[in-house]
Structure 1
């Protein structure tokens, strides 16, 4: 329904006669001359002596003001360019599309009809027509109402995963028979873990392999659509660390343990040898960034082609190495090359990127909006923001 606000027009102030006859204000428009003529007139002017009684008894008006010359007034008007405007929150046209229901009642009774299968968050218009037994018919003014948006249900499923394994989180949004459209965002605190469009009401997220051991509280947010209201739900993802090391247990190549809060991997058969005690012993300390890139530790074995982070830089092993810090000019490690113009490293299909990471792709620099992997920069609606 339109809401009209009153427009401001020039006003003509007419001084009230203290006592006398009724007056007519006659407005005459001359379109050709663009003039408006105003004439005050009363057929009973002489009968009531308006001039005589225009004198105020309190002394504020000792002489009559009305002598007939005030009757005529001519003002210029521009009828050819006059515009009338109004403001409205919304404007809609409705065409009758079907019968909601019918009811037959006696005179002065109340008729009822049920209108079902209405979509949430949708405006509807309706009219009522009545017909009497003798053929009389009446139609009411159209009425409009809008149904409230439906609040959907959301479930977040985060299966327990082992440390060093990518976790999978599934988000489902349901609203009965109402179609669900839009996207959901998954976050952990202030860190956005990803955003995905809903397909048949569901979206799946793959989280980084390097999540720390313990519990991670994840929040899924659905922004809603034309028919559905926004909704949020939370779930706790548990990342299990390997079992605690035991001096009485036999460990073979590949077995993992936790010792003093750190993760170790057995390189060969071992028993009753404490992890971390010997950098060249049976245990390798395994540390990684959240995206899964290895972090150099003295006891870890690296082979030719392996990458590791050390001192904030990425290094590549030229041959087998252990217990040798990156940076030795005569050693196995070489810095991972950067572009010669100091721009970010080139985008890689298999690499995991987090919010804020920058890459170079086809001569442009892009910055990640959130965590992603395998999504090529360049799509303006994708996870990459063009920097330059």
Structure 2
């Protein structure tokens, strides 16, 4: 069953063995609980969100993210024609970099290409497919787990050794707070995000009847192969005008410009479950993507068949291809400086 009764609220974090990598490295899951009966499960493979269970007013609990029951499911999903990056932490650079190349300090950087001649989501083997180290788990109010990964210099041909941390916190206000930090030994580019697919009616449902609001007056124009042209487009009056609620589109893969950092970047609402998710971020963009299709080749959690309308991503991040557009917010992280990024998914 997708939705089940919440008979007892746990408050102590749980660590479990999740699976073995092909090289026999162990992968673990960590589960956090707040005092309202909300729970979050993270695995060390890809610092991935595998479950996010939210209590409803009627006493039931709904799992609002897509995922897989086994490590094998996650590994197999990266062999699909279009890997879904299900719930993973994406890096070094979320989104596409045109032709897998950019200039930094007068030097041309040539990245590994993994998407129609471009670099996507960090390249051939990005942060989403790495084993992260759990640095800290906190319990009690606002429980959290912090994971780290150090990307060696020239991994996927990115300059500098980059040490990153991501902290997932489950607040007592029913928020999933994600905080990122990073430092590099050399000037480099960084753009981290989380690639969870949300569905407020349960991971085995679809999002077509859920309402979407995006607080953006502008979006990025893109080419036929999803590369930003550098132009900003006004959303007013277009099919991408989500300032007032519209049903989730069946197809969307676009970056919206977040102009008011103190306001919500986006809102998703389910009338069926009377559940609202509000997205807040300090990043300049939110890339919205409806999908999750596993092409009937990999089964989702509880034997679900994920399809093109299974979930919606709110990838809070810098703009795709930012290193190739001087007027975009800079994605350059200078040697010794700290990269920070904070995003909140609040459930009501």
TM-score by length of 1: 0.23
TM-score by length of 2: 0.25
Q: Which has the higher contact order (CA 8 A, sep 6+)?
A: 2
Higher strand share: 2
Structure label with greater radius of gyration: 1
